[in-house]
Structure 1
């Protein structure tokens, strides 16, 4: 798996986000590094990314990295995707995640059949996108991240209102971080798949690597339907 082109590109992204010299080792390996500027989690937190069977862990200081390295010694990379394992080994407060990291190549992409739905393009930050986020509530809107996209938004309208929309934020290493949101009461009808399909198509046309990060099973199912493959996990933990 380590030689899979998707894994290679995804690992390149997260190495860059680690903001410190670190590499994914062989399958099962856990590499821990001090990285005060790490973007694997909020500032000052421990960040964990498992990709292709190997893990990279960042800690805010050299002292913290030494403690983490000692605590996690002997653990396999896959075990770090379980928050219960981390909290049993380290003094940890809050945990964000785990979130599945999924990616798709142009060859594996399975565009959604719109089934008579039309998809319109809106600029990022359009007032109707803000209205969609308000209708979804703060928790779902934050999870989707539609307010952070740098691409156009691809929206499905029902009864005159935007029912679902998708786009992506341009991340380092030529990565397109997908954002998809569906209005409450409109879910389960395939709208996210139709809107997300157009966002993925746009990203691939720009030669970007589409990344779908999701904690919610329904979101993961949409990604899988579009051809995405789960390659790893991300989570972060606040030192107690």
Structure 2
């Protein structure tokens, strides 16, 4: 699968998640639409996804869409997922992201051997998965969202305890959203690459498109080591002082 095909699949995924007709414009373009049930962001927020030099944006109401459209017109497309720059043109209450969106093709995938690590499969609901999440802490466990995976969990044990795990959640468009988590005391040993490699290989074997969404440099380094290419960013914004049903554009 060439990378232009990967980009096409990635764009089709996010266009579908918008829940209303929208498309990535030619390079430099930003398409803003109204979608109260958008999958690009939390309910009532503005969702922005930039891929390949253009962006799509969903707003929860006509009024907010007008504000957003006018504000983002003042920014180059490469800045519309920069939270600090968006704050300069919009009244922002809260921001989530930006998160980098990376994808890999079968030809670009670089598998990592388990080496001395013993890897096994568990179900996402296995109690040992919850123990790993507790050891990692609320923030890291929430970022990884291993409790949402639909694939098997590929895990590494040490002293009969799971210290690293990875899997993926099936998203629309046969997309595999990768999740990886390592216990704090086991980090820096390459275990995220080992478990993540198995999750990616499993997804590719059934014709899915692996997606890696991350904000942290360490996670981005793991993705790059496995052959993922960073193709864009996702940002969610809550507009300050306006309810989602705001419709008075004046």
User: What interval of TM-score do these two structures reach, taking the shorter chain for normalisation?
Assistant: over 0.9
| Aligned counterparts, 1:207-226, within 5 A | 207-226=207-226
| Aligned counterparts, 1:186-201, within 5 A | 186-201=186-201
Distance 1:96 1:139 in 2: 13
Deviations 1:147-197 (A, max 9, x none): 110111000111221110000000001100000000011001000000000
Q: Which residue of 2 aligns with 1:25?
A: 25
Distance 2:74 2:68 in 1: 12
Distance 1:127 1:141 in 2: 14
Q: Which residue of 1 aligns with 2:76?
A: 76
After the TM superposition, which segments of 4 or more aligned residues of structure 1 sit over 6 Å from their partners? none
SS of equivalent to 1:185: helix
SS of equivalent to 1:151: coil
The CA deviation at 1:212 is 0.3
1:67 and 2:67 equivalent?
yes
1:153 and 2:153 equivalent?
yes
Gaps of 5+ in 2: 241-250
Indicate if the aligned counterparts of 1:30 and 1:76 stay in contact, CA closer than 8 A: no
Q: Which residue of 2 aligns with 1:38?
A: 38
The CA deviation at 1:74 is 3.9
Distance 2:161 2:29 in 1: 49
Distance 2:159 2:194 in 1: 17
| Aligned counterparts, 1:18-167, within 5 A | 18-167=18-167
Indicate if the aligned counterparts of 2:74 and 2:89 stay in contact, CA closer than 8 A: no
Distance 1:95 1:184 in 2: 27
Indicate if the aligned counterparts of 1:95 and 1:236 stay in contact, CA closer than 8 A: yes
Distance 1:62 1:84 in 2: 24
RMSD (Å) for aligned C-alpha atoms? 0.9
1:232 and 2:196 equivalent?
no
Distance 1:20 1:137 in 2: 36
Distance 2:203 2:165 in 1: 15
Distance 2:153 2:176 in 1: 13
Deviations 1:115-173 (A, max 9, x none): 22121000111100000000000000001111110111000111221110000000001
Indicate if the aligned counterparts of 1:177 and 1:212 stay in contact, CA closer than 8 A: yes
Distance 1:187 1:93 in 2: 34
The CA deviation at 1:75 is 2.3
Number of paired residues?
Answer: 238
SS of equivalent to 2:188: coil
